[in-house]
Amino acid sequence: MASFSSETARLFDIQRYSVGDGPGIRTTVFFKGCSLRCSWCHNPEALSHKIQVMNKEGFDKKVGFDITSYDLMSTLLKDISLYKKSGGGVTFSGGEPMLQAAFIRKTLIGLKEENINTAIDTAGNVPFSSYESILDWVDLFLFDLKILSPQKHHLYTGASNQLILSNLENLLKHRKKVEIRMPIVKGLNDSIDDIDNTISYLSKLLEFGEINRIKVLPYHSLGQFKYAELGFKSPNHEAPDADILAEYEHRISHLFTKNRDKKVELSTIN
Amino acid sequence: MDFDSYKDAMYNEMNAWYKTYPTDISELTKIIDQKISSDQSGYEIRGHIYDVAADMMEVKLFPHCPFYFEMASGRNRNIWGMEGLGGYLKNSKAYQDLRHGYLSDAETMWDKGMFIINDFVDNDHHAMGIDVILEKGFKGIMEEALSLLDNKVLSDEQKHWLNTVIKGCQCAKALGEKFSNQAEAFLKSELCNTELSKKFFERIKNTASRVPWNAPSTFYEAINSLIFAREMFNSLDGVGICTYGRLDKVLLPYYLQDIETGAITQEEAYDLCATLISLTDARWDYSQNQVETSTTICLGGLDSSGNVIDNPLTRLIFQAIVDCNTLNPKINIRVTDQHSQGFYDAAVHVSRNTRSSVSFLNDEVIVPAMVNGGLEKTHALNYVGGGCQEVVAEGTQVSSRACWYLNLSRVLTAVLGQNSSKTYQTLDSSSAHPIELKDLKTFDELYREVISMLTAVSVKFSEHLASYQQHWKKVNPAPLYSSTLLSCLKSATDMSAGGAKYTSTTFATGAFGTLVDSLLGIKHIVFDEKRLSLSEFVEVLNSNFENHTLLQKYLISEIPYFGDDSEESNEMAARLMKDIELLQKECRNFADAQYHPTFYSYHTNIYLGMDTPATADGRLAGRPVSRSVSPSDYKGNNRRNPATDIHALKALDYKGFPGAAIQYMTLPIANEQSDTILSAVLQTFVENGGSILEYQFNDVEILKKAQENPENFPELSVRVCGFSAKFTALDKTVQQEVIERLSQVA
Ligand code: SF4
d(CA B717, CA A67): 45
pLDDT at B1: 58
Residue type at position A205 = L
- B647 and A78: CB-CB below 8 Å? yes
Per-residue pLDDT tens for A168-205?
999 999 999 999 999 999 999 999 999 999 999 999 99
What's the average model confidence in pLDDT over B26-45?
Answer: 91
Q: How would residue A2 be classed by pLDDT, with cut points 50, 70 and 90?
A: very low
Ligand 1 atom closest to residue A46's alpha carbon, by position in its atom list? 3
Of all protein residues, the one whose alpha carbon is nearest to atom 6 of ligand 1 is A38
pLDDT at A212: 85
Q: Say what the ipTM of the complex is.
A: 0.92
User: Which of A16, A25, A57 lies closest to B680 in CB terms?
Assistant: A25
Q: Is A261 on the interface with B (CB under 8 A)?
A: no
d(CA B321, CA B578): 38
What's the average model confidence in pLDDT over A86-90?
Answer: 97
- Of A13, A48, A99, A157, the one to substitute when testing ligand 1's pocket (max ligand atoms within 8 A of C-beta) is A157
pLDDT at A42: 87
What's the average model confidence in pLDDT over B78-97?
Answer: 88
Task: State how far Cα B601 lies from the chain centre.
Answer: 10
pLDDT at B539: 97
Chain A residue with Cα closest to B646:
A79
- A82 and B550: CB-CB below 8 Å? no
- A24 and B679: CB-CB below 8 Å? no
pLDDT at A1: 43
% of residues, chain A, pLDDT over 90: 68
Q: For the ranges B71-85, B355-369, B371-385, B461-475, which has the lowest average pLDDT? A: B71-85
- A57 and B557: CB-CB below 8 Å? yes
Q: Is the pLDDT at B121 greater than 50, yes or no?
A: yes
A51: nearest Cα among A10, A92, A13, A103: A10
Of the two residues B622 and B744, the one the predictor is more confident about is B622
Q: Is the pLDDT at A134 greater than 90, yes or no?
A: yes
Is residue B54 a contact partner of residue B174, using CB atoms and an 8 Å limit? yes
Q: For residue A56, which residues of chain B lie inside 8 Å, CB to CB?
A: 557
User: Which of B644, B647, B672 lies closest to A19 in CB terms?
Assistant: B672
What's the average model confidence in pLDDT over B99-119?
Answer: 96
Q: Is the pLDDT at B422 greater than 50, yes or no?
A: yes
DSSP state of B656: G
pLDDT at B268: 97
Q: Is the pLDDT at B309 greater than 50, yes or no?
A: yes
Of the two residues B479 and B151, the one the predictor is more confident about is B479
| Phi/psi-derived region of residue B53, left when phi > 0, alpha when psi is between -120 and 50, beta in every other case | alpha
Q: For residue B647, which residues of chain A lie inside 8 Å, CB to CB?
A: 78-79
- B643 and A88: CB-CB below 8 Å? no
Q: Is the pLDDT at A126 greater than 80, yes or no?
A: yes
Per-residue pLDDT tens for B213-253?
999 999 999 999 999 999 999 999 999 999 999 999 999 99
Of the two residues B738 and B506, the one the predictor is more confident about is B506
Ligand 1 atom closest to residue A37's alpha carbon, by position in its atom list? 5
| Phi/psi-derived region of residue B387, left when phi > 0, alpha when psi is between -120 and 50, beta in every other case | alpha
- Residue B267's Cβ-count burial label (10 Å; 0-12, 13-18, 19+) is exposed
Is residue B121 a contact partner of residue B472, using CB atoms and an 8 Å limit? yes
pLDDT at B670: 58
Q: Is the pLDDT at B375 greater than 80, yes or no?
A: yes
- A59 and B554: CB-CB below 8 Å? yes
Q: How would residue B596 be classed by pLDDT, with cut points 50, 70 and 90?
A: very high
pLDDT at A5: 66
Beta carbon of A95 within 6 Å of any ligand 1 atom: yes
Cα–Cα distance list, B48 to B30, B86, B616 (Å): 11, 11, 56
Beta carbon of A43 within 6 Å of any ligand 1 atom: yes
Q: Is the pLDDT at A8 greater than 60, yes or no?
A: yes
DSSP string, B262-288: TSS-HHHHHHHHHHHHHHHHHHS-TTS
Length of chain A in residues, anyone?
Answer: 270
Q: What is the count of residue pairs from A and B with beta carbons less than 8 Å apart?
A: 57
Strand boundaries in B487-624, DSSP class E: 502-505, 508-510
- A17 and B644: CB-CB below 8 Å? yes
DSSP string, chain A: -----SSEEEEEEEEEEE-SSSSSSEEEEEES--S---TT-S-GGGT-SS-EEEEETTEEEEE-EEEEHHHHHHHHHTTHHHHHHHT-EEEEESS-GGGGHHHHHHHHHHHHHTT-EEEEEE---S-HHHHHTTGGG-SEEEEE---SSHHHHHHHHSS-SHHHHHHHHHHHHTT--EEEEEEE-TTTS-SHHHHHHHHHHHHHHHHHS-EEEEEEEE---TTHHHHHHTTPPPP---PPPHHHHHHHHHHHHHHHHHTTTS--EEEE--
d(CA B428, CA B104): 19
Is-cis flag, bond preceding B658, omega within 30? Answer: no
What's the average model confidence in pLDDT over A245-258?
Answer: 85
% of residues, chain B, pLDDT over 70: 98
pLDDT at B672: 59
Strand boundaries in B212-324, DSSP class E: 243-246, 296-300
What's the average model confidence in pLDDT over B177-192?
Answer: 97
pLDDT at A7: 86
pLDDT at B291: 81
Chain A residue with Cα closest to B564:
A16
Q: How would residue A263 be classed by pLDDT, with cut points 50, 70 and 90?
A: low
Q: For the ranges A251-255, B29-33, B615-619, which has the lowest average pLDDT? A: A251-255
User: Which of B558, B641, B672 lies closest to A59 in CB terms?
Assistant: B558
Beta carbon of A38 within 6 Å of any ligand 1 atom: yes
Beta carbon of A147 within 6 Å of any ligand 1 atom: no
Beta carbon of A62 within 6 Å of any ligand 1 atom: no
Beta carbon of A142 within 6 Å of any ligand 1 atom: no
User: Which of A57, A79, A87 lies closest to B643 in CB terms?
Assistant: A79
Helices (H), B543-624: 549-558, 567-584, 604-610
% of residues, chain A, pLDDT over 70: 94
d(CA B462, CA B258): 49
CA of B264 to the centre of ligand 1 (A): 64
DSSP state of B126: B
